Each structure stands twice: as structure tokens, then as C-alpha cells.
Amino acid sequence: MTADWKLETRHRALEMRADVLHATRAFFLSRDYLEVETPNRIPFPLPESHIDAVPAGEWWLHPSPELCMKRMLAAGYERIFQISKCYRGHERGPLHLPEFTLLEWYHVGYDYFRLMEECEDLFLYVSGALGTGRHIHYRGQQIELSKTWERLAVKEAFERYGSISLEEALAENRFEEILAVEIEPRLGSPKPTFLYDYPLVFASLARKRKVNPAVAERFEIYVGGLELANGFSELTDAGEQRARFEKENETRSDRGRPPCPMPEKFLEAISCMPESAGIALGVDRMVMLFADASSIDEVVSFTPEEL
């Protein structure tokens, strides 16, 4: 009899997890980023339609470190990264844990296209450090990590893989359904995909695209159907940000969620924030990718159910 056979079977994945963390840090340090730590417990999360923050006493556990890290950008920190535990209520599935590890980084002067290139570099660096090489296997798929990854606009993805157009999906409130069921499984093979230019309603903190103000400069990374990261050119217009937060709060109220108070300090900060781009990457999912795991459970020491 072993004390905990599930934990034993994860030995290799947990070693890989440590290697991914080390390599990630080495990558950012080699590029002159400052590793930062911001509080995990905050008075209030940013108003977002579909995220349930987890209460911690009178305060909340942060769903991401975005709020504090952008205040750092405004204060003159130009290249920062953070690896932190984040918390989101009611999210549990093969790709979701209510407590998970997020890598978030920001680069002043970048836009989302420049940031995509840095993502390619990061994955190549990590795969090099792990010794997996540029060809990896994930869920029976052969994936080639070398540059240049596919860049696919959301609208085009709906045309190519969806049973209805983007416009129809938005009108029928089926955007997420078509994306998750019909499109995502087709993305990121044989090369990773950057899915980009999201409808504004799905990018409340991203900058509007000048050439097409119906979309925001936001992208997601998909590898072998697995969604790994969400990045964007940051919105730096405090007035517009306030209006978008009000909209998010309206959606929250419609869905029975309490609205969040207007984050005044944050709005003040972004009014003096330089043009920049930032991204949040799910570290657990990155380990899943390299460990060829089908469930996030396989790459953490304990799931909440096992505690």
C-alpha cells in the first residue's frame, strides 16, 4: 500500500513543473525584466463580467495580479513579471482549478503584435531548457513550436471553423459556445495559434484597434486546442476604461453578481500609464502542454478535492 498513489504518479509532472518555473524565470531575467510580487489579498477586484472573486475576510483574493501590476507600470516600472497564485470561484474542470498559478508580464512600449513574438521566444526558451526540442506531442498531436506561429483573427476563425458567423454568434449570445465547441479544438496544430482581435465586449481592459474600433487588440494563445494565455495592448484612456467597467458591472448585475466598486486608484494610475502590452499565461496549462497531460489535476501536487 502506498500512502497516496495519485501524488506518486505525478512525480514526473511535478519535476517538469519545477523546470518550467525555473526556465520561465531565467527567460525573463535574461531579458532584463524585474520579478515582482504584489499582494494576493486586495480590497476589491476589478469589475469583470464573468469572474467570481473569492472572499478572504473583508477583502478578496486576487483573480489576477493585473490591478497592482498596472499601477507599477504607471509608476515607471517598464518590464515586470510575476508568478503568483490566483483565485477564481466556481471554476473547476479538466482545465480549471479555483486556485491556479498565473504568469503575468508587462512590457512598456510593446503592442500586442510585438508581445506575440515574445511569447514565441518564451515557449522556445522553455522547450529548450526542458530538452523537449521544438517538436512536442500533445494529446496525439505533433506540434512544431518554431517561429512563426499562426495568427488568426477571431472573425476569420468563425468563418473558417464555425457553423455561424461571428456576428450571428454575438447576436445569439453563443460566442463562447461556438468558440469552445467548434473552434478551439481546431486551433494550435500543427503550429500554435494566436487568435486575435476580439469583439470589444470580450476585452474590457484592452485598447481599441485604430483601424477597426469594433475590436480590441487582444489575443489568446492556443496550442493543440489548449488555451494558454490572454494578452493585449493595454487601454490607457481612463475615461474609456471607466465606461467599460460600468458596462462590466451592468453585466454582473444582470447575471446576479454584485457589482464591484469603481477602482479609483487604478483608473488614476492608467491615466498616466505609458503605452504597453501585457499578458497572463496559465502556468499549470503550460506544464500540461509539456507533460502531455489531459487534465490540470495531473500537474499540481493536490487538487482541492484531495485536501
Contact footprint for another protein (CB under 8 A): 48-51, 90-96, 173-177, 179-181, 184, 202-203, 220, 227, 230, 255
* φ, ψ (nearest 5 deg) of residue 2: -105, 155
E-assigned strands of the chain?
34-35, 41-42, 54-56, 59-61, 79-87, 99-108, 135-138, 141-144, 150-153, 193-199, 215-223, 226-233, 276-282
Angle between helices 11-30 and 283-291 (to 10 degrees): 120
- Nearest distance from C-beta of residue 63 to another protein, angstroms: 10
Q: CB-wise, 94 or 190, nearer to another protein?
A: 94
Q: CB-wise, 11 or 90, nearer to another protein?
A: 90
Count CA within 13 A, CB hemisphere, residue 220: 21
- Nearest distance from C-beta of residue 117 to another protein, angstroms: 20
Taking the mean position of all CA atoms in its chain, how far away is CA 22?
A: 19
DSSP states of 157-224 as a string? HHHHH-SS-HHHHHHTT-HHHHIIIIIGGGSSSSS-EEEEEEEGGG-TTBPBPSS-TTEEEEEEEEET
Grid-cell match 504568469, residue found: 103
Distance (Å, whole) CA 228 – CA 161: 20
Q: CB-wise, 167 or 177, nearer to another protein?
A: 177
- Nearest distance from C-beta of residue 22 to another protein, angstroms: 26
- Nearest distance from C-beta of residue 95 to another protein, angstroms: 8
Distance (Å, whole) CA 130 – CA 24: 11
- Nearest distance from C-beta of residue 37 to another protein, angstroms: 24
Q: CB-wise, 2 or 173, nearer to another protein?
A: 173
The CA–CA distances, whole Å, from 199 to 9, 51, 64, 271 equal 42, 18, 22, 23
- Nearest distance from C-beta of residue 203 to another protein, angstroms: 7
- Nearest distance from C-beta of residue 179 to another protein, angstroms: 5
Q: CB-wise, 221 or 270, nearer to another protein?
A: 221
Q: What is the DSSP letter of 96?
A: B
- Nearest distance from C-beta of residue 180 to another protein, angstroms: 5
Angle, CA of 122, 211 and 151, to the nearest 5°: 30
Element (H, E) at 267: helix 264-270
Distance (Å, whole) CA 295 – CA 168: 32
Q: CB-wise, 75 or 180, nearer to another protein?
A: 180
- Nearest distance from C-beta of residue 38 to another protein, angstroms: 20
